[in-house]
Amino acid sequence: MISYDFDYHKPTAIQEALELFQALKKQGKKPVYFSGGTEIITLGRVNELVTDAVIDIKAIPECNTYKQDNRLILGAALTLTNVLDLQSFPFLEKAVAEIADNTARNKITLGGNICANIIYREAVLPLLLTDSRILLASLDGLTEKPISELFHQELQLKDGELLVQVMTDLEAIQLPFYIVKKRRQWGVGYPLITVAALRKQNKVHVAISGLCSFPFRNKQMEDSLNNEQLSIDERIEAALKHIPATVLDDVHGSDAYRIFVLKNTLRDILRVLGGAENDG
Amino acid sequence: MNWSIGKSPTRKDSLEKVTGAAKYTADFIGAQMLHVKLAVSSHAHAKLKKIDTAKAKQVPGVHAIILGPASPLTGDEVKDRPIMASDTVRYYGEPIAAVVADHPFQAKKAAELIEVTYEPLPVINSPKEALQPGATLLHKDLATYEKIPHVYPEANTNIANRTKIRKGNISQGWDESDITIEENFSFSPSDHTAMETRCTIVEIKPDGVVHITSSTQAPYKIKKQFAEIFGLEEGKVVVHAPFVGGGYGGKVATQLEFIAYLASVAVGGKPVKLLYTREEDMVSAPVRIGLDASIKLGATKEGKLTAAEITYLIDSGAYSDKGSMLTKAAAATCTGPYNIENVSCDALCVYTNHPYVTAYRGFSHSEILFVFERAMDILAKKLKMDPLVLREKNVFLPGMTTPTQTVLNHSTVGNLPNCIDKLKDLMNWDEGMVVRVADNKLRVKGISCSWKTSTISGASSGVVLLFNPDGSVNVLSGIVEIGMGTKTILAQLLAERLKMDINKIHVQMEVDTKVIPEHYKTAASRGTLLAGRALLKAADDAVSQLKHIASHVLTCSPDDLEVGYEKVYVRDEPETFVQVKDICYGYEFPNGNSIGGQVIGRGNYTLRHLTNLDYETGAGKSGPEWTVGAQGVEIEFDTTDYTYKLLNAYSVIDIGKVLHYKAAMGQVMGAMSMGLNHASAETFQFTQDAIISSPRLRTYGTFRYGDHPQYHVHFFETPHLDGPYGARGVGENGLIGMPAALANSLSIAAGVELTKLPLTPESIWRAKEGDEEK
Amino acid sequence: MDENAITLSINGRDTTCFVRNAATLLYILREKLGLTGAKPGCLNGDCGACTIDVDGEPMKSCLMLAVEGEGKKITTIEGMKQTTIQSQFIEKFAFQCGYCTPGFIMNCHALIQKHPDATDDMIKNWMESNICRCTGYKEIEDAVKTALRQANQNTDG
């Protein structure tokens, strides 16, 4: 139950949403875009997220797009279940299939997960590795950018900017991948760590969630993992040196245990996706 | 023939429960109802310097804000707990203030605006810390608290109770032993996690009658406590217990009912509802015990146990609630189901700055068995003996004496050797305990034995049977339907006794303490024994009334009559009969004369011959009978990353008599699941300041569909002669051996003695990599 | 208290009621409409006790604002009459305390409607959205699998 009140708006066009946002700001409000809304409702309940106006983007056609030509375009308001049912991006599907649970995935949206407050945002991992691009809307118009350019710990959106779509080249979708989510125990819930990997041009690329307080892909880590001069274990040890922030130590597991699990997982990845063999 | 016993008639609550019609406390909704929300402590131990409600009062819709009164103090055995904290908070989440408002969101908003100024005090984060010399005292007035006899708080310490077991001669036991082992075990408190969070509605009617509707397992206890604590007449306290959404012991405690009463008083008696959030239900409401234990066992080289010396430090949290009785139960059951001539055990109920504890399914038994049964495996390993063989050599048999020096007989204890034999068979024990299934995968078996009694002296139950004009019967019993289906079983017992169709027996689901005879508490696996015996007595009473009326109709002695098939008939001339429906409201002769009236069967039952335990030795009869069982777990273990899968779980239980097959199976499988869930994942995680991290279902690790193993359950039937049709209590037995069995399998699999719960891959990794401290 | 009128289609009937924008659908169903079959268990989307059916998909009604429900076809346990899954829950003793039962049944029913040919993996994937603390899930497994088998026979026939 949320103890504070907020306005609720449901625009049917991007421009309307953007204008609403600015108008509400002018009224002194702190509007937020509301997609699946699961996080606004659950964090709102404990006052970890407070707003006085929500703008529901689910009625905006562009945010519900699904299109596939030379690239796949997914609207930000598609639910995770929609993404799974489309069966057009196996890597992303594998990632989102482990987020929350089946019923919750009927409500959580792709854009919601990417822009979430929760630190895991696992949908981002395949998007980072496939060099996906995102479409943003602002009053200056629509801009398309590589996600790697905008995602640093979290998606760097300007005030009022709206995530509309995610685009991925079909070629990248075809590449061999590996993703594993390790939990403290049993089959549902937040990760201890989630590690995603993609094999491209004879190299393994890795993105990780749950290890630090944000998901990341790190170039030096990848270079270490692909260093053919080193044994597998040496590559992993070298990669660990490039973890970009403090390793989490929380209810899901200690920092030391996370490292233990990460090492095992990286070993699996190098075994499955190979380090030096050809792409075959 | 069997009319109903041993079969699986449809549960009487089926249609209500699958249609959403079944009403639980929170489902009673009224426009007049006001809503209560709590402000709770953000510290585990602190002085309350100031509670500022000025901003909260400004919130629209607020009617009243109540702060904790310093008195009266409450508590089941030791009165040590204020209704809400008044000058000191002793655990994280302790209620401090309650807001009454028109709508829940208003009450919540106001509660959020209450500003509390704390002065932090030193925090006690484990029983061991609490017993350190110079430890902060959580209850300085412990010596002056009101208490029942036979509970022994120790003044100027953090010990709320101590139960001692002194059986035989412990030094002689060590002399006779060839081999000894010693080990320490521990785990933190955890939660019941019933799907229904606790809820209550309190209203004071103009005539002063207090109506309490509550998600409780103990409505009659609430009635007595309200009278005692608030100085009310018992006749003016009425407790309603509708369907309860799971209890597992957690709804035996009275807590939010007291708060809601004060809230109702503050608004002139209007109905107020207090529904706990999940977080409050996990942390503010009472929880399950934690434990620090040390154990030393001695045995001959042939594997005969000779001595056991044990210390159980029960983490009771900030208050004792059921902690002192859990301590008594721990001591009474301290050796598991094994005969040891020389036993010395001290069980202590220890105050800490953790949430306070109450009953939990198993009432200390699973916790104690985790320690003892792990110790048995460690001993078996040292003896190089099959762990099941070690157990077989030492199990309790009729004629042996319990740690409390009660002599067991063929009725009071079931047949454990039978259970062990069957377990071997079910688990394919001869295959070996470890099978390698892949390079890094092992399939591993672990076992445990268990016994359970209920230390509930003075418990009684009453049943009333009301006949309807069509000859059908309404059953009134004070058992709360918390899920175990006991009311359906009562209907079965009556169908069997009256030889009638169970569909013509109607059970009253909701308890109303004003009109339904008292049943002690719906707890301790004693519903069927207590209420079942009361029901059979009520049936006999009804039968004798029916025979009395029929004897006039059929002009013979009542002694010549039998009741069955909805008739009263002459024993050796069954064709001479009168229909029950024609006499159960009296009988009208053809000439217009009438005799008799509505048949109302009455019955009651009280557990007999239980005694308090002697303070110095623990001698006494602690419970009515002991249900025994042998249990096992089979896991698949990954030797690389210490993860595991639960493949199979086994329970062989001597249940006395299977009354309702599917209900018994459901109880046992559900309990096994709970035991495995606790052992594998559940715990509160405390910071150094005893703050509980993330008390949410999302992170707590509750089993979901698919986490469960395949269940294998087998029943033996050694009758408990006092039980209805020989039945024994069974609601807890599926649970109590599971943590030990899982821990034993994992200890073998990982090649390290695991001594802590829960057994997550990380905790196994720690034990294995020798980094236990963190 | 700011409340707006909204119209919800629930169990085949349109109902207009006044709601706060911040009110969840669960709250409105229970407190305003008296449909108390959906249960509050965590209000955090974790337990599934509040599951209802929205446009053919199971939905945790604590994770949805009432205002989001406009224009959608909402079914609650009160709208379920003598379905196969309800009979199977009775037959297989797939409930004890019954508190999680309406949510489980709504989830099972949606699964049966959407995927009558569901595999074991898919059943697990769907069922793990709800928590039952009384049973060990075995009886629920039996109930949903039998109901699916029956649904399959009906489609085949």
pLDDT digits (tens, 9 = 90+) for B544-591: 999 999 999 999 999 999 999 999 999 999 999 999 999 999 999 999
- Residue contact B195–C141, C-beta within 8 A: no
Name every chain C residue with its beta carbon within 8 A of the beta carbon of A7: 21
Lowest mean pLDDT among B76-80, B383-387, B745-749, B769-773: B769-773
For range C109-131, the mean pLDDT: 97
- Residue contact A260–B112, C-beta within 8 A: no
Using the Cβ of B770 and the Cβ atoms of chain A, whether some distance falls under 8 Å is answered with no
Give the gap in angstroms from C-alpha B760 to the nearest C-alpha of chain A: 6
- Residue contact C27–A106, C-beta within 8 A: no
**E-only strand ranges, B300-373:** 305-317, 342-351
SS3 of A225, please? helix
Using the Cβ of B464 and the Cβ atoms of chain C, whether some distance falls under 8 Å is answered with no
Query: CA nearest C122 in A: which residue?
Result: A102
Using the Cβ of A185 and the Cβ atoms of chain B, whether some distance falls under 8 Å is answered with yes
Return d(Cα B319, Cα B285) in angstroms, integer.
12
Using the Cβ of C68 and the Cβ atoms of chain A, whether some distance falls under 8 Å is answered with yes
| DSSP secondary structure letter of residue C32 | I
Query: CA nearest B703 in A: which residue?
Result: A186
Return the number of other C-beta atoms located less than 10 Å from residue C17's C-beta.
18
pLDDT per residue as tens digits for the range A126-145: 999 999 999 999 999 999 99
Residue B774 has pLDDT above 80, yes or no: no
SS3 of B476, please? strand
Half-sphere exposure of A40 (CA within 13 A, CB side): 29
Return d(Cα A31, Cα A141) in angstroms, integer.
20
Give the DSSP per-residue string, A107-132. Answer: T-BHHHHHT-SSS--TTHHHHHHTT-
- Residue contact B761–A189, C-beta within 8 A: no
Q: Amino acid identity, residue A93?
A: E
8 A C-beta contact, residue B671 and residue B735: yes
8 A C-beta contact, residue C87 and residue B10: no
Return the number of other C-beta atoms located less than 10 Å from residue B553's C-beta.
16
Give the gap in angstroms from C-alpha B169 to the nearest C-alpha of chain A: 45
A270-274: long-range pairs with CB below 8 Å, 24+:
A270/A204, A270/A225, A270/A232, A270/A235, A270/A236, A271/A232, A272/A178, A273/A176, A273/A177, A273/A178, A273/A197, A273/A198, A273/A199, A273/A204, A274/A199, A274/A204
C13-19 and C4-10 strand pairing: antiparallel
**E-only strand ranges, chain A:** 7-9, 31-34, 53-56, 66-68, 71-75, 133-138, 141-146, 151-152, 154-155, 162-169, 177-182, 193-200, 203-209, 216-217
8 A C-beta contact, residue B703 and residue B673: yes
Name every chain C residue with its beta carbon within 8 A of the beta carbon of B662: 93
Q: Residue B475 is encoded by which pair of tokens?
A: 């059953």
Q: Across the strands, what pairs with A151?
A: A155
For range B671-689, the mean pLDDT: 98
For range B251-276, the mean pLDDT: 98
Q: Amino acid identity, residue B340?
A: I
Residue B524 has pLDDT above 80, yes or no: no
Residue B771 has pLDDT above 70, yes or no: no
Out of B18, B193, B705, closest to residue C137 by CB: B705
Using the Cβ of B707 and the Cβ atoms of chain A, whether some distance falls under 8 Å is answered with yes
CATH of domain B459-606: 3.30.365.10
Taking the CA atoms of residue B407, residue B408, residue B411 and residue B416 in that order, the dihedral angle to the nearest 10 degrees is 180
In terms of residues, how long is chain C? 157
Interface of B with C in 238-297 (CB under 8 A): 243-248, 275, 277-278
8 A C-beta contact, residue B377 and residue B343: no
User: What confidence tier does C155 reach under pLDDT thresholds 50, 70, 90?
Assistant: low
8 A C-beta contact, residue A41 and residue A19: no
- Residue contact A187–B112, C-beta within 8 A: no
- Positive or negative: CA dihedral B349, B351, B352, B356: positive
SS3 of C44, please? coil
List strands edge to edge, sheet with A216-217.
A177-182, A193-200, A203-209, A216-217
Residue B773 has pLDDT above 50, yes or no: no
Contacts (Cβ under 8 Å, ≥6 apart) of B231:
none
Question: Domains of chain C, with CATH numbers?
Answer: 4-79 (3.10.20.30), 84-156 (1.10.150.120)
Q: What are phi and psi of B162, to 5 degrees?
A: -135, 130
For range B376-400, the mean pLDDT: 98
| DSSP secondary structure letter of residue B623 | -
Q: What is the mean pLDDT of chain B?
A: 96
Return d(Cα A43, Cα B154) in angstroms, integer.
45
What angle separates helix B486-498 from helix B527-553, to the nearest 10 degrees?
30
CA B234 to chain centre: 26
CA A105 to chain centre: 14
CATH 3.90.1170.50 residue ranges of chain B are 32-121+196-245+251-283
pLDDT of A277 reads 44
Q: Across the strands, what pairs with B204?
A: B210
8 A C-beta contact, residue B71 and residue B80: no
8 A C-beta contact, residue C19 and residue C3: yes
Q: What is the ipTM of this complex?
A: 0.98
**Residue C156 burial by CB count (10 A; 0-12/13-18/19+): exposed, middle or buried?**
exposed
Name every chain C residue with its beta carbon within 8 A of the beta carbon of A41: 24, 45, 62-65
Cβ-based contacts under 8 A for chains A and C: 74
- Residue contact B705–C99, C-beta within 8 A: no
Q: Which helix (H) or strand (E) holds B577?
A: strand B573-579
Using the Cβ of C124 and the Cβ atoms of chain B, whether some distance falls under 8 Å is answered with yes
Give chain A's count of helices (H) and strands (E): 12, 14
Return d(Cα B697, Cα B771) in angstroms, integer.
28
Out of B13, B104, B696, closest to residue C98 by CB: B13
SS3 of C114, please? helix
- Residue contact C128–A101, C-beta within 8 A: yes
For range A4-17, the mean pLDDT: 98
Contacts (Cβ under 8 Å, ≥6 apart) of B430:
B424
CATH 3.30.365.10 residue ranges of chain B are 290-456+610-768, 459-606
pLDDT per residue as tens digits for the range B419-453: 999 999 999 999 999 999 999 999 999 999 999 99
Return d(Cα B660, Cα C55) in angstroms, integer.
40
For range B730-739, the mean pLDDT: 95
SS3 of B587, please? strand
Q: What are phi and psi of C125, to 5 degrees?
A: -60, -40
Name every chain B residue with its beta carbon within 8 A of the beta carbon of C139: 666, 669
B609 dihedral zone (left: phi>0; alpha: psi -120 to 50; beta): left
Report the residue of B10, B12, B13, B17 to disrupt the C interface, i.e. the one with the largest count of C CBs within 10 Å.
Answer: B17
Q: Across the strands, what pairs with B711?
A: B649
8 A C-beta contact, residue A194 and residue A265: no
Q: What is the mean pLDDT of chain A?
A: 96
HEC secondary structure over B434-446: EEEEECCEEEEEE
Using the Cβ of B615 and the Cβ atoms of chain A, whether some distance falls under 8 Å is answered with no
For range B613-636, the mean pLDDT: 96
8 A C-beta contact, residue C144 and residue C108: yes
pLDDT per residue as tens digits for the range B287-317: 999 999 999 999 999 999 999 999 999 999 9
Using the Cβ of B62 and the Cβ atoms of chain C, whether some distance falls under 8 Å is answered with no
C-alpha to C-alpha distances, A253 to A183, B326, C131, nearest whole angstrom: 9, 31, 23
User: What confidence tier does A280 reach under pLDDT thresholds 50, 70, 90?
Assistant: very low
pLDDT of A66 reads 97
Residue B730 has pLDDT above 50, yes or no: yes
User: What confidence tier does A274 reach under pLDDT thresholds 50, 70, 90?
Assistant: confident
B620 dihedral zone (left: phi>0; alpha: psi -120 to 50; beta): left
Return d(Cα A192, Cα A209) in angstroms, integer.
9
Return the number of other C-beta atoms located less than 10 Å from residue B21's C-beta.
14
Using the Cβ of A251 and the Cβ atoms of chain B, whether some distance falls under 8 Å is answered with yes
Give the gap in angstroms from C-alpha B444 to the nearest C-alpha of chain C: 21
pLDDT of A275 reads 59
Query: CA nearest A57 in C: which residue?
Result: C68
Return d(Cα B250, Cα B481) in angstroms, integer.
14
C-alpha to C-alpha distances, A84 to A48, A194, B1, B522, nearest whole angstrom: 30, 18, 57, 46
Q: Residue B193 is encoded by which pair of tokens?
A: 């996690």
Topology classification of domain B32-121+196-245+251-283: Aldehyde Oxidoreductase; domain 3 (3.90.1170)
Q: In chain B, pLDDT over 70 holds for what percent of residues?
A: 99
> Nearest 5 degrees, angle CA B441-CA B443-CA B447?
145
User: What confidence tier does C78 reach under pLDDT thresholds 50, 70, 90?
Assistant: very high
Q: Across the strands, what pairs with B100?
A: B36, B64
Tokens 């079909």 label which residue? A170
> Nearest 5 degrees, angle CA A244-CA A248-CA A253?
140
Q: Out of 3.30.365.10, 3.40.50.300, 3.30.70.141, 3.40.50.9100, select the CATH number for domain B290-456+610-768.
A: 3.30.365.10
Q: What is the mean pLDDT of chain C?
A: 96
Give the gap in angstroms from C-alpha A7 to the nearest C-alpha of chain C: 7
